[in-house]
């Protein structure tokens, strides 16, 4: 897909726009988990999520090509849209973002504030994605899928930072939405010739990647119901699935209650705000403490984009989820 030299060059490109994010060994998380827990803080980016790296790299790549697009169009539940909007705004490139009707008002405001034309359509992400393809024909803008080589290459820089800063990680837990984050992690690990185990984590209400991993082939679902918007996926893309199938040790499921408890755990034990998808990896570790006892474990806190009302509701009454 790409080489280590390409990845290192991309990292330098990313750092012209944003600094590397930190990784910390958190003592309370470590004590409660029975292992050394290192958290990669992708909630500390300009858009409060890891995907901004992919947007920066993709937009730079497109504007450096011979056929420069007149604009971009894509669908999202939030972080992907913020990523493209942020990166495009830095280069004065028009962008249209389509979100479903159920999308977070906070995410919608953030996307608009980065300068995007926001369109609200459909009951879920897939409906929004299909509508974005119809709009693309009218606008002539370049459609951007949620999984793309340049997006993965940009996102992969967080994994390069993490593996370079924290040596000899036994295992890293990562959320799976459309797959760019965990695929970047797998690719960086392989390029660095590391033995670190990568475990994907999905929500029970959006199990398509778990079902597909177990079956060895893509199994779509007709639902994706979870408080973790960023992992509310029902239809995996083939390119992402192949990387995960061949590179992940396993894909596990966690409940919305467990996700909410992990959100509160991040807040109470590290004073960090984690959105549902950002807390999924900690929920995964909580389910596998017995396997990780005494080991050196990494968690990807992929984002912190959640409005206060929802956060308060989830963490106050997790048993009702």
Q: What is the mean pLDDT of the chain?
A: 95
Residue 319 has pLDDT above 80, yes or no: no
Instruction: Copy the structure tokens of residue 104.
Output: 């977070």
What is the pLDDT averaged over residues 110-136? Answer: 92
Over the stretch 161-207, which tens digit does the pLDDT of each residue have? 999 999 999 999 999 999 999 999 999 999 999 999 999 999 999 99
Which residues sit opposite 142 in a β-bridge? Answer: 72
CA distance 3 to 259: 35
* Both structure tokens of 64: 């450096």
**Calpha distance 57→62 (Å, rounded):** 9
Are the C-beta atoms of residues 151 and 1 closer than 8 Å to each other? no
Residue by residue, DSSP assigns 142-154 as: EE--SS-HHHHHH
CA atoms within 13 A on the CB side of 55: 31
Q: Are 300 and 50 in contact (CB under 8 A)?
A: yes
pTM: 0.94
Q: How many CB atoms lie within 10 A of CB 312?
A: 11
- Which CATH architecture fits 4-49+149-320? 3-Layer(aba) Sandwich (3.40)
Mean pLDDT calculated for residue range 111-132: 92
Q: Which class does domain 52-143 fall in?
A: alpha beta
Residue 229, SS3? helix
State how far the Cα of 128 lies from the Cα of 296, in Å rounded to an integer: 40
> For the chain, where do the domains classified as CATH 3.40.50.1100 start and end?
4-49+149-320, 52-143
pLDDT tens-digit series, residues 200-255: 999 999 999 999 999 999 999 988 899 998 999 998 999 999 999 999 999 999 99
Task: Determine what percent of the chain is predicted with pLDDT higher than 90.
Answer: 87
């Amino acid at each position: 897909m790409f080489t280590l030299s390409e990845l290192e060059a991309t990292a330098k490109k990313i750092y012209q726009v944003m600094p590397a994010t930190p990784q910390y060994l958190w003592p309370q998380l470590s004590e409660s988990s029975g292992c050394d827990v290192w958290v990669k803080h992708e909630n500390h980016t300009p858009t409060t999520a890891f995907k901004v790296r992919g947007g920066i790299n993709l937009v730079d790549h497109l504007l450096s090509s011979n056929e420069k697009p007149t604009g971009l169009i894509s669908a999202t539940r939030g972080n992907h849209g913020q990523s493209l909007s942020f990166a495009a705004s830095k280069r004065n490139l028009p962008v249209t973002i389509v979100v479903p009707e159920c999308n977070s008002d906070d995410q919608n405001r953030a996307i608009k504030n980065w300068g995007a034309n926001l369109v609200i359509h459909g009951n879920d992400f897939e409906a929004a994605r299909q509508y974005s393809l119809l709009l693309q024909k009218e606008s002539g803008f370049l459609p951007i899928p949620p999984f793309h080589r340049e997006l993965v290459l940009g996102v992969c820089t967080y994994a390069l930072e993490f593996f370079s800063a924290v040596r000899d990680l036994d295992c890293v837990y990562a959320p799976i939405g459309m797959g760019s984050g965990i695929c970047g992690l797998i690719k960086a690990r392989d390029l660095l010739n590391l033995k670190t185990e990568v475990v994907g984590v999905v929500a029970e209400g959006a199990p398509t990647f778990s079902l597909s991993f177990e079956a060895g082939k893509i199994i779509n679902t007709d639902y994706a119901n979870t408080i973790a918007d960023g992992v509310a996926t029902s239809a995996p893309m083939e390119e992402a699935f192949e990387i995960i199938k061949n590179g992940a040790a396993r894909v596990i499921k966690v409940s919305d209650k467990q996700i909410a408890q992990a959100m509160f755990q991040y807040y109470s034990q590290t004073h960090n705000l984690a959105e549902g998808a950002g807390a999924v990896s900690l929920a995964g570790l909580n389910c596998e403490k017995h396997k990780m006892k005494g080991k050196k474990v990494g968690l990807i806190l992929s984002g912190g984009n959640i409005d206060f009302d929802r956060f308060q509701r989830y963490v106050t009454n997790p048993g009702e989820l």
